[in-house]
Amino acid sequence: MKKMQKLVVMIPALNEEKTIASVIKTIPRKIEGISKVLVLVVDDGSTDRTVQKAKLAKADKIVSHKGNKGLGIAFQTGLDTALKMSAGIIVNIDADGQFNPNDIPKIIAPILQGKADVVTCSRFKDKGLEPKMPEIKKFGNKMFTKIINMFTGNHFTDTQCGFRAYSKEAALRTNLFAKFTYTQEIIMDLSQKGMRIEEVACKVQGERSGQSRIVSHWYTYGIRALIIVVRSLRDYKPLQFFGSIGTIFFLVGAINAFILWTRLMLIRKIDPFMWMVYADVILIVLGFLLIILALIADLVDRQKRVQEEILYRIKKKEIEKIQ
C-alpha cells in the first residue's frame, strides 16, 4: 500500500475578510489517500479583519507579511511554510471564493496516482465549464497560454489559473523571482525541470470580492504579466530567446544587403537607398552580437541548472531535518 500523505491547503490572502472564513470551512478535512489536511493562510499585509476571520474559522497556521509584498512573494512564502509543515502535497486556492474547495480531491488525484507532479485547474478545458468573462480577458489568456505552450512544448488551455496542486518534489524544485504574480513563471520553471504537469477542468463558482486580485484593470495585469513572461523566456530559454532575435536581425540585414548588391551589379548605383546600407550593416552586426550573446547565455544557463540542483539538495536536507 502507498504511504498516506499530508496535504497542506495554502490560501494567499489580501483583505478577504468577507470570504476567507467560508473558503476555510469548505475545505474537506477527510480525503482518500491523505493522512491529514492542514489549512495554511498567507496574509500578504491585509489591513482588514482577514487574519481574525481566518483564526475564527480555525485555520491551522497563519503567516503574515508586515506589508503587501505581492502575490508571487506570498506564494513562495506559502510553499516554504507548507514544506516545513511536512506537506506531501500542497494545494494553492484563492481566498476570494471563486473556486470550489470541494474540487480539491479532483485536483490532487493525478498526484496521488503518480501520474503528475503538478496539477492545474483549467477554466477552458471543458467548454461546458467556461466562466463568463470579457472577451478581451479570454483573448489575453489564450495569447499567454499560446506563448507558454510554444516555448514549453505543452498543450495547456489555461496558464493563468492559481488553483493548483504541487507534489513535495515540485515544491522543492520551485525557484521564483517575480513579485507580482507566479502563475506563468512556475509553469515555465517546472516544465524546464522535467516536472509532469496536468490540467483538470474545474468550474469557477464565484466572483472576486476582495483585494487578492492582483490589479484592478485587465490591461495593467496584461502588461505586467507580459513582462514576467518575457523575463521567464530570457531566463529559462536564453539560447532560443536571444538566438531567435539575433537570427532575425542578421537575416533581415543580410537579405536586404544582397538585394542592394544585386541592384548595384545590375544598374551600377545604390542611390537613393544609401541609408539602407548603413541600416543593413547595423542589423548584421547587431544580429551577430545577439547570436554570440545567446551562446554565452546558454553557457550561463547550464551553470544556473547546476546551482539549482545544489539548492534543491540543500532544501531537501533542511526539510528532512525538520521532519
Q: Which residues have C-beta within 8 Å of that of residue 75, sequence separation ≥ 6?
A: 12, 42, 92, 176, 182
C-alpha cell at position 237: 530559454
Q: Of 25-29, 142-146, 280-284, which gets the smallest average pLDDT?
A: 142-146
Read off the pLDDT of each residue in 253-271 and give the average, rounded to a whole number: 90
Mean pLDDT over the full length of the chain? 88
Q: Of 81-95, 139-153, 190-204, 219-233, which gets the smallest average pLDDT?
A: 219-233
pLDDT of residue 176: 82
Q: What is the DSSP string of 254-317?
A: HHHHHHHHHHHHHHS--TT-HHHHHHHHHHHHHHHHHHHHHHHHHHHHHHHHHHHHHHHHHHHH
Spatial CA neighbour of 105 closest among 202, 15, 243: 202
pLDDT digits (tens, 9 = 90+) for 230-252: 877 788 788 988 999 999 999 99
Please report, rounded to a whole number, the percentage of residues in the chain having pLDDT higher than 90. 58
Assess whether pLDDT exceeds 60 at residue 285.
yes
Assess whether pLDDT exceeds 50 at residue 34.
yes
Rg (CA), the chain: 24
pLDDT of residue 1: 43
C-alpha cell at position 222: 496584461
Residue type for position 108: I
Cα–Cα distance, 61 to 7 (Å, whole number): 13
Long-range contacts of 147-151 (CB under 8 A, 24+ apart): 147/229, 147/233, 148/184, 148/187, 148/188, 148/229, 151/188, 151/233, 151/236, 151/237, 151/240
Categorize the per-residue pLDDT at 221 as very low, low, confident or very high, splitting at 50, 70 and 90.
Answer: low
pLDDT of residue 314: 92
Assess whether pLDDT exceeds 90 at residue 65.
yes
pLDDT digits (tens, 9 = 90+) for 116-141: 999 999 998 888 788 777 777 788 78
Cα–Cα distance, 319 to 85 (Å, whole number): 9
